[in-house]
Amino acid sequence: MSTVESVRERANGPGKAASWRADPYTRALRAGRGPLFLRRADGWMLPLEVERWCADADAADRTVLRRCRGPILDIGCGPGRLVAALALLGRPCLGIDVSRAAVARTAGAGGPALCRSVFEPLPDEGRWGTALLIDGNIGIGGDPQALLTRVGRVVTLGGLLLVEVAPADVDERVQVRVDDGRGDVGTAFPWARVGAPALLRHARAAGWTAVERWTALGRGFTALQRTTPRPRPAGEN
């Protein structure tokens, strides 16, 4: 089984689906506010910025949107502020998310969205001009290199991937649960946290070239370009 296939199993299996469709996450999205956290097994908790996710795109988000070109795929779109902003500008775009509550909120905000994992078949594979992994979504599946390899099959040759990185120089793979901080938790699932240096290492290994780095409102971003032919799935001649 290839690395991507194994991540696909983890990403699409019952634990992954249940985690992001669990009550703490669904309730937070429907309410538009937290508290909400990703909690590691050792008790450390990463705050999730639900209020910002459910608001309109802010100045930092707009630095990302200005760099998009061609049709845009927002991977892990959440409640859809980026997709809604792009749609308002008349840009061709699509959000995907494994949470039905997130997809419903995106549609309600005026953005097109599908309830789907990035590791499942997607519309227009190989023809997206830009893909987005914002708000920590480089962590999807718990294996950044496998995720970057998969996204390399989704965008066109020369296409962009815009990634938000962790503020620290970190490269970790952990099991986490969605936690509301009040005793309600979701199912454990794999996640990753990646800072800029680690992202560059994983990107080079997956056939991406870094073309720009920038910060806005304390958030860090990296633009990657797919400059090598699309990786073939394992077993393909």
- pLDDT reported for residue 143: 98
Domain ranges of the chain: 3-226
How much is the average pLDDT of 169-189? 94
Provide the β-strand partners of residue 221: 164, 214
Question: How many percent of the chain have pLDDT more than 70?
Answer: 87
DSSP line for 73-112: EEET-TT-HHHHHHHHTT--EEEEES-HHHHHHHHHTT--
For residue 91, CA distances in Å to 7, 66, 130, 133, 217 come to 31, 11, 11, 18, 24
Mean pLDDT of 128-150: 98
The C-alpha atoms of residue 167 and residue 179 are separated, in whole angstroms, by 22
Is a pLDDT exceeding 60 seen at residue 103?
A: yes
- Is pLDDT above 60 for 4? no
pLDDT of 167 > 50? The answer is yes
From the number of C-beta atoms within 10 Å of its C-beta (0-12, 13-18, 19+), residue 207 rates as middle
Q: Tell me: the pLDDT tens digits for 187-221?
A: 999 999 999 999 999 999 999 999 999 999 999 99
| Average pLDDT rounded to a whole number, residues 149-168 | 97
Query: In the predicted model, what is the mean pLDDT of residues 152-178?
Result: 97
Q: What is the mean pLDDT of the chain?
A: 90
The fraction of the chain above a pLDDT of 90, given in percent, is 85
Euclidean distance between CA atoms 130 and 226, whole angstroms: 10
- The answer to whether residue 6 scores a pLDDT higher than 70 is no
Give pLDDT, residue 20: 57
Please say if the pLDDT value at position 232 is more than 90.
Answer: no
- What is the Rg, in whole angstroms, of the alpha carbon atoms belonging to the chain? 16
Q: Reply yes or no on whether the pLDDT at 14 is more than 80.
A: no
CB half-sphere exposure, 70, CA atoms < 13 A: 16
Half-sphere exposure of 74 toward its Cβ, with a 13 Å CA cutoff? 31
What value does the mean pLDDT take over residues 108-133?
97
* Intra-chain end-to-end CA distance of the chain, in Å: 16
Q: Are strands 219-226 and 208-216 parallel, antiparallel or unpaired?
A: antiparallel
Cα torsion 122, 123, 129, 132: sign? negative
Contact 55, 135 (CB under 8 A): no
3-226 placed in CATH 3.10.129.10: no
